[in-house]
Amino acid sequence: MSQYLRDGVLDLDDFELPSKQRREKGRVIIIECVQEIPCNPCSEICPRNAITIKGDITNIPQVDFEKCNGCGICIANCPGLAIFSVNESLGQEMAEVGIPYEFKPLPETGDSVDLIDRAGQVVGTGTVKRVLQPKSYDRTALIYLMVPRELSLQIRFFRKSLKSGNKKKS
């Protein structure tokens, strides 16, 4: 039995990753959808046909990482919040991670955040680079974070850091 079925925490070998070479070319998605459920908005909405669900709708989606340009549309349209993006083309120190977000209030560009991994542990600090929530995202926001590069494949959530000068909203 896979470990995630025991503890609910995915490992990097539970899903397909884009190669280091592809990640260093620019933004690309990672799909962490590992259970066979009847769902396919990701493959229907991709304008580049980069996601396929072969055969039965319950099959696991597969990504052609070379076709994906990291536009993010599938991230916001995944009802399971199971799609993320990574971009390791931004230098040796930092990387960008894209995260779907359905909480209020939204963070703001420039906010300092605590970075949280798949197990719910705070593992570092980062910065909000961009907040996107166009009407076509149907209320799901897409948050781009700048994170230490060594954490680029680990970060799956964040919380505002009150230690680093963010103003507390009342």
In the complex, least distance from residue 76 CB atom to ligand SF4, rounded to whole angstroms: 9
Nearer to ligand SF4, 33 or 111 (CB): 33
Q: Taking the complex as a whole, how short is the minimal distance between the CB of residue 164 and ligand SF4, in angstroms?
A: 30
CA distance 115 to 99: 11
User: Which residue, 51 or 97, is less far from ligand SF4 as judged by CB?
Assistant: 51
94: left (phi over 0), alpha (psi -120 to 50) or beta: beta
- What contacts 25, CB < 8 A, 6 or more positions away? 89
Nearer to ligand SF4, 50 or 86 (CB): 50
Q: Which of 103, 93, 89 is nearest to 127 (CA)?
A: 93
CB of 57 to ligand SF4, least distance (A): 8
In the complex, the residues that contact ligand SF4 under the rule CB under 6 A are 29, 31, 33, 39-42, 46, 48, 50-51, 61, 68-74, 78-80, 82-83
**Preceding peptide of 105 cis, ω within 30°:** yes
CB of 166 to ligand SF4, least distance (A): 29
Cβ atoms 74, 42 nearer than 8 A: yes
